[in-house]
């Protein structure tokens, strides 16, 4: 057994004690509640097979992680299958071939009829519990990390889960009663017998006959019976009716169940284009009938409806905090997310705005609307961003505009227009051809349509197609006018200044200074102006002429910065923007540890902003549980960063407003930062990704650049843009020095979250 595993188990011993302690705390907090659940209590979180979004469904680790990261009264869900000798195991599918190593142990698959359909595979009815001793649980959902498959997670019985993990609540789902009956095995007997030995809080089934067969026996008990609805047009085997038609007679359901479990789209339907439709009255109808309603199919790593902007907490909130109803519980593969939603994010007054960290947009709310458009900026403002940003580009006629890229191919439909002929290769900017802002006039650019960015296109995760071509591009002047007199600071980012000066005689720095002055952002303004560049010469120029806050952008992943480089940066910048990877380095999307670059920079009085935060789960390390708030929180609470640069400012400001941040030491477990490297520790040697060479250390030569040269030529323009003296600056791209370093991840475990 690897060392990390035994450590893990050791921590779990502590866990059992803590869970008991937490339960008693929770039960003493009885306050009048705003919840629109049937009971008026907060909704429950049900962890499907444990934290099955990370560890194999129904594994010990999955259940343990769910207990640590969820509400104190989390309910552990077990899909019960019966073995040949009548024991009940927790396994997510009827077919054991699906998420276990059984096909390496046995080779005789069987073909059985299940609900009228033939199914081939390995079935528990053909194996005794003993036969399954050497069969291990594996990740059955192939889009999830299979890196934990080497852990030899044993198949657990229902009693194992109850006794080893001592969950505050246990939910048994009996998906297939009729199938086991056909094989002469009785679910009823098993369920009745196990519930005499362990406390079972909920028993669900999509089969009416099964629930009816046990109703009388559970009448006097605290165990609740739940009728599970499958897809609307699936046939319920007992009544031979569709689930849809059974939904129309909840009085009937009430005769054998006290609650229903429905797929989430029964409540908030999503159309085939992934847009949310108006909610149904299922919850209200069921509540009127006295039935509790649980909603299933919550997972952070599947495409959500566009209406949620890839924010899974937003999705949860629409089920529990919509002003009209609340479901009574959420069944999720990622139980941390509904836990946060219920405990920290529901029923917030919009007013409670926190102050830190600073929330800086990236091309406006570019996760929601096309980058740098009027509506993207408005959205960022409405979402409570502190700072909106303009990446300044120059047009052919010298107008400064805001656009995420100097290449119009990124962010506009230019290739579909006649301007496609203006494509050029300019090696100082990029090795491949582009259509650059300085090859079109402002009037020409205004005829282009902005296009929403899709950084996760490779994963078929798109941003809202309804807004694909929405909005219009802002000039810098428009941008400043928009921000003026709003409680907003502006960040102006300047790249390619040297090329523009040398080759085109355009001075971006002067253009920006003039535009700011003309827009009334002079030195006396109450509104803060930040200038960001990865070129020190640009910042030095601003330092000479203005007293704006200067942000040095380090555009490479680094693991450290040496003292002389920091000393140098201090000469011309107040703040530094670094990448996420520089704070928490990753290997194949697993955190390998944490650097101390943030505190090092801060100890030199440099403010540290981190880019780039995105809601799409594929942009986040596994360690953050596909939850953008867990990621943000880990950077803020774990690394102490001062500001977040994000495509989705609304998610960052919602994070900042959440109630749990104000709880100080009593912060719940799910509002603690993750332990970097903890998940990596659980990966067994043969599944570890190959070690990567560490990121380099920033040195003085990486920062150093000769000062900008003075004016060399005069230029004429045809437009009304601000055109001022050009500047030149030899390019500097000293290679970051890479020092070999033995990687030692911290011994901290996931469970150190406790
Ligand atoms: C596992 O189950 C899922 C969901 O039922 C199914 O889509 C998938 O094809 C199954 N995989 C295997 C190997 O049986
Ligand atoms: C199944 O495995 C056994 C023992 O490993 C082997 O003798 C047998 O030929 C295999 N059967 C098939 C159908 O592969
Ligand atoms: C179930 O039991 C019946 C009667 O004892 C027997 O005829 C039938 O073959 C059994 N079925 C299975 C799948 O074992
Ligand atoms: C179920 O209903 C369908 C159509 O409503 C009918 O054709 C079929 O015979 C029924 N089956 C049983 C077992 O009652
Ligand atoms: C609904 O179910 C109840 C109880 O089973 C039954 O009495 C009633 O006739 C059903 N109503 C309809 C419209 O099917
Ligand atoms: C979801 O978004 C679409 C497109 O923006 C909009 O038409 C629809 O009304 C939204 N749905 C809900 C329930 O708000
Ligand atoms: C917002 O804050 C103000 C001042 O602190 C207070 O008067 C107001 O009631 C608050 N509104 C809400 C909705 O909390
Ligand atoms: C784009 O502008 C650059 C710099 O002025 C110039 O060298 C290039 O020829 C222009 N390309 C086109 C297609 O206009
Ligand atoms: C702004 O401040 C800088 C440095 O403090 C000063 O040199 C410059 O003249 C000021 N500009 C204006 C317009 O006041
Ligand atoms: C940082 O700023 C504080 C107060 O402004 C000052 O006391 C301290 O010496 C500064 N530290 C460094 C390393 O510049
Ligand atoms: C640039 O223009 C200024 C006046 O606008 C003039 O004094 C200067 O000589 C010009 N420089 C060159 C290099 O043409
Ligand atoms: C240039 O500016 C002048 C004065 O501000 C204005 O009258 C003129 O219409 C502008 N021309 C263009 C092309 O915007």
CB 613 within 8 A of CB 646: yes
CB 47 within 8 A of CB 298: no
Mutate to test the pocket of ligand 10, among 574, 605, 606 (most ligand atoms within 8 A of CB): 605
Alpha helices in 345-394 (DSSP H): 374-382
CATH code assigned at 642: 3.20.20.190
Examine the pLDDT at 578 and tell me if it is beyond 50.
yes
Atom of ligand 10 nearest to the CA of 570: 14
Average pLDDT, the chain: 89
Distance (Å, whole) CA 225 – CA 257: 5
Q: For residue range 68-96, what is the model confidence (pLDDT) as tens digits?
A: 999 999 999 999 999 999 999 999 999 99
Ligand nearest to the CA of 723: 11
Task: Answer whether 249 contacts ligand 5 (Cβ < 6 A).
Answer: yes
How many helices, marked H, and strands, marked E, lie in the chain?
25, 28
Atom of ligand 9 nearest to the CA of 524: 14
The two beta strands, 400-402 and 643-646, are: unpaired
CB 279 within 8 A of CB 267: yes
Which of 534, 451, 521 shows the shortest CA–CA distance to 490? 521
| 3-12, 118-127, 403-412, 650-659: least confidently modelled range | 3-12
First to last CA, the chain: 24
Q: Residue 704's pLDDT is what?
A: 80
For residue 249, being part of any structural domain is answered with: no
Residue whose CA lies nearest to ligand 1 atom number 9: 98
Q: How confident is the model over 630-656, as a mean pLDDT?
A: 96
For residue 258, being part of any structural domain is answered with: no
C-alpha 503 – ligand 8 centre gap (Å): 10
316 and 455 inside one domain: no
Q: How confident is the model over 265-283, as a mean pLDDT?
A: 97
374 and 340 inside one domain: no
Task: Answer whether 27 contacts ligand 5 (Cβ < 6 A).
Answer: no
C-alpha 476 – ligand 2 centre gap (Å): 72
For residue 232, being part of any structural domain is answered with: no
pLDDT-based confidence at residue 708 (cuts at 50, 70, 90): low
| 260-274, 284-298, 513-527: least confidently modelled range | 513-527
Q: For residue range 371-426, what is the model confidence (pLDDT) as tens digits?
A: 999 999 999 999 999 999 999 999 999 999 999 999 999 999 999 999 999 999 99
522 and 616 inside one domain: yes
Domain C-terminal end among 345, 376, 400:
345
Task: Answer whether 349 contacts ligand 7 (Cβ < 6 A).
Answer: yes
390 and 486 inside one domain: yes
C-alpha 551 – ligand 12 centre gap (Å): 34
pLDDT-based confidence at residue 525 (cuts at 50, 70, 90): low
For residue 28, being part of any structural domain is answered with: no
How many Å separate Cα 667 from the centre of its chain?
20
The H-or-E segment that residue 297 falls in is: strand 292-298
Which of 53, 44, 146, 64 shows the shortest CA–CA distance to 92? 53
Atom of ligand 11 nearest to the CA of 714: 1
For residue 228, being part of any structural domain is answered with: no
Distance (Å, whole) CA 358 – CA 346: 22
3-state secondary structure of 296: strand
pLDDT-based confidence at residue 13 (cuts at 50, 70, 90): very low
Task: Answer whether 419 contacts ligand 8 (Cβ < 6 A).
Answer: no
Q: Residue 282's pLDDT is what?
A: 98
545 and 448 inside one domain: yes
Examine the pLDDT at 1 and tell me if it is beyond 80.
no
3-state secondary structure of 473: strand
Atom of ligand 3 nearest to the CA of 182: 13
Q: How many residues make up the chain in this entry?
A: 754
3-state secondary structure of 157: strand
Q: For residue range 583-595, what is the model confidence (pLDDT) as tens digits?
A: 999 999 999 999 9
Q: Residue 18's pLDDT is what?
A: 41
165 and 75 inside one domain: yes
Q: Residue 12's pLDDT is what?
A: 43
Which of 446, 281, 320 shows the shortest CA–CA distance to 41? 320
Q: For residue range 307-357, what is the model confidence (pLDDT) as tens digits?
A: 999 999 999 999 999 999 999 999 999 999 999 999 999 998 765 556 789
Q: Residue 349's pLDDT is what?
A: 75
Examine the pLDDT at 752 and tell me if it is beyond 60.
no
For residue 17, being part of any structural domain is answered with: no
CB 622 within 8 A of CB 679: yes
Distance (Å, whole) CA 585 – CA 578: 12
Q: Residue 667's pLDDT is what?
A: 87
C-alpha 345 – ligand 6 centre gap (Å): 22
82 and 151 inside one domain: yes
Q: How confident is the model over 545-565, as a mean pLDDT?
A: 94
Examine the pLDDT at 671 and tell me if it is beyond 70.
yes
Q: Residue 662's pLDDT is what?
A: 84
**Which residue would you say has higher pLDDT here, 598 or 520?**
598
- Which residues, including other chains, have CB under 8 Å from residue 112's CB and lie 6 or more apart? 118, 119, 123, 179
Q: Residue 160's pLDDT is what?
A: 97
Examine the pLDDT at 721 and tell me if it is beyond 90.
no
List the domain range (segments joined by +) for residue 50.
35-205+264-345
Q: How confident is the model over 279-298, as a mean pLDDT?
A: 98
Which of 162, 195, 194, 222 shows the shortest CA–CA distance to 16? 162
Q: How confident is the model over 225-246, as a mean pLDDT?
A: 96
**Which residue would you say has higher pLDDT here, 719 or 580?**
580
646 and 611 inside one domain: yes
| Residue linked to tokens 């509506």 | 375
For residue 321, being part of any structural domain is answered with: yes
What is the gyration radius of the CA atoms in the chain, in angstroms? 29
341 and 371 inside one domain: no
103 and 183 inside one domain: yes
Q: How confident is the model over 278-290, as a mean pLDDT?
A: 98
Q: Residue 523's pLDDT is what?
A: 66
Ligand nearest to the CA of 529: 9
| Residue linked to tokens 């440099």 | 606
| Number of domains, the chain | 2
For residue 59, being part of any structural domain is answered with: yes
Q: For residue range 487-523, what is the model confidence (pLDDT) as tens digits?
A: 999 999 999 999 999 888 889 999 999 999 999 887 6
pLDDT-based confidence at residue 427 (cuts at 50, 70, 90): very high
284 and 409 inside one domain: no
Domain C-terminal end among 286, 313, 345:
345
Examine the pLDDT at 5 and tell me if it is beyond 60.
no
339 and 381 inside one domain: no
C-alpha 243 – ligand 5 centre gap (Å): 14
Domain C-terminal end among 311, 345, 379:
345
Q: How confident is the model over 268-286, as a mean pLDDT?
A: 97
CA distances from 52 to 11, 55, 81, 95, 316 (A): 20, 5, 17, 17, 18
Pocket of ligand 9 (CB under 6 A): 517, 522-523, 545-547
**Which residue would you say has higher pLDDT here, 67 or 748?**
67
Which of 510, 360, 379, 372 shows the shortest CA–CA distance to 437? 372
Q: For residue range 164-210, what is the model confidence (pLDDT) as tens digits?
A: 999 999 999 999 999 999 999 999 999 999 999 999 999 999 999 99
For residue 189, the tally of other CB atoms under 10 A from its CB is 11
Residue whose CA lies nearest to ligand 3 atom number 6: 184
Atom of ligand 10 nearest to the CA of 603: 13
C-alpha 662 – ligand 11 centre gap (Å): 60
**Which residue would you say has higher pLDDT here, 600 or 735?**
600
Examine the pLDDT at 23 and tell me if it is beyond 50.
no
Q: What percentage of residues in the chain have a pLDDT greater than 90? A: 79
């Amino acid at each position: 057994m690897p060392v990390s595993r035994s450590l893990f188990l050791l921590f779990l011993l502590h866990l059992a004690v803590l869970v008991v302690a937490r339960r008693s705390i929770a039960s003493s907090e009885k306050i009048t509640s705003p919840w629109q659940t049937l009971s008026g209590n907060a909704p429950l979180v049900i962890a499907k097979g444990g934290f099955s979004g990370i560890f194999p469904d129904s594994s010990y680790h999955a259940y343990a992680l769910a207990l640590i990261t969820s509400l104190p009264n989390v309910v552990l869900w077990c899909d019960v299958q019966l073995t040949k000798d009548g024991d009940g195991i927790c396994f997510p599918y009827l077919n054991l071939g699906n998420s276990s190593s059984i096909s390496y142990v046995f080779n005789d698959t069987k073909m059985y009829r299940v609900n009228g359909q033939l199914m081939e595979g390995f079935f528990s009815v053909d194996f005794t519990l003993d036969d399954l001793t050497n069969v291990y649980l594996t990740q059955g959902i192939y889009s999830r990390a299979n890196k934990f498959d080497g852990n030899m997670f044993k198949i657990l019985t229902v009693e194992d889960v109850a006794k080893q993990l001592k969950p505050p609540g246990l939910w048994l789902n009996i998906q297939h009663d009729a199938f086991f009956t056909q094989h002469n095995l009785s679910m009823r007997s098993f369920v009745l017998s196990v519930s005499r030995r362990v406390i079972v809080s909920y028993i669900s089934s999509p089969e009416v006959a099964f629930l009816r067969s046990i109703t009388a026996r559970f009448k006097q008990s605290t165990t609740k019976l739940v009728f599970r609805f499958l897809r609307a047009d699936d046939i319920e085997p007992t009544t031979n009716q569709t689930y849809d038609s059974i939904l129309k007679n909840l009085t009937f359901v009430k005769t054998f169940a006290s609650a229903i479990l429905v797929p989430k789209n029964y409540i908030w339907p999503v159309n085939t284009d992934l847009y949310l439709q108006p909610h149904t009255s299922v919850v209200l109808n069921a509540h009127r009938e006295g039935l509790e309603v649980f909603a299933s199919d919550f997972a952070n790593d599947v495409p959500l409806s566009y209406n949620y902007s890839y924010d899974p907490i937003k999705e949860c909130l629409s089920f529990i905090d919509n002003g009209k109803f609340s479901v009574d519980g959420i069944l999720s593969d990622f139980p941390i997310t509904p836990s946060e939603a219920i405990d920290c994010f529901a029923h917030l007054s919009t007013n409670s705005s926190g102050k830190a960290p600073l929330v800086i947009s990236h091309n406006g709310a570019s996760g929601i609307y096309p980058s740098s458009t009027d509506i993207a900026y408005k959205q960022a403002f409405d979402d409570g961003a502190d700072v909106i940003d303009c990446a300044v580009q120059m047009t052919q006629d010298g107008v400064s505009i805001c656009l995420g890229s100097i290449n119009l191919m990124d962010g506009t439909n230019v290739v579909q227009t006649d301007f496609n002929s203006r494509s050029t290769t300019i090696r100082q900017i990029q090795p491949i051809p582009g259509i650059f802002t300085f090859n079109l006039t402002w009037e020409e650019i205004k005829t282009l349509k902005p296009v929403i960015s899709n950084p996760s296109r490779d994963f078929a995760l798109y941003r809202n197609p309804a807004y694909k071509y929405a909005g219009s591009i802002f000039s810098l002047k428009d941008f400043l006018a928009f921000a003026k007199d709003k409680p907003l600071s502006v960040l102006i980012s300047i790249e390619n200044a040297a090329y523009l000066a040398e080759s085109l005689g355009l001075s971006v720095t002067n253009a920006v200074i003039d535009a700011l002055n003309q827009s009334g952002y002079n030195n006396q303004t109450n509104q803060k102006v930040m200038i960001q560049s990865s070129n020190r010469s640009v910042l030095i120029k601003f330092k000479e002429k203005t007293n704006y806050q200067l942000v040095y952008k380090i555009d490479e992943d680094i693991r450290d910065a040496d003292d002389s480089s920091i000393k140098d940066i201090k000469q011309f910048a107040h703040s530094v923007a670094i990448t996420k990877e520089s704070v928490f380095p990753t290997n194949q999307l697993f955190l390998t540890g944490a650097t101390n670059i943030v505190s090092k920079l801060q100890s030199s009085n440099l403010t540290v902003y981190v880019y780039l935060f995105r809601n799409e789960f594929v942009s986040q390390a596994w360690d953050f549980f596909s939850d953008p708030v867990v990621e943000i929180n880990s950077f803020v609470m774990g690394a102490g960063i001062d500001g977040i640069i994000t495509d989705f400012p609304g998610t960052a400001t919602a994070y900042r407003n959440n109630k749990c941040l104000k709880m100080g030491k009593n912060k719940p477990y799910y509002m603690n930062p993750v332990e970097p490297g903890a998940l990596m520790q659980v990966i067994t040697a043969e599944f570890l990704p190959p070690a990567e060479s560490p990121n380099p250390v920033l040195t003085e030569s990486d920062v150093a650049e000769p000062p900008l040269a003075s004016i060399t030529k005069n230029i004429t323009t045809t437009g009304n843009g601000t055109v001022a003296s050009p500047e030149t600056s030899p390019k500097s791209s000293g290679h970051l020095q890479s020092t070999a370093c033995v990687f030692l991840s911290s011994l901290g475990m996931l469970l150190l979250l406790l």
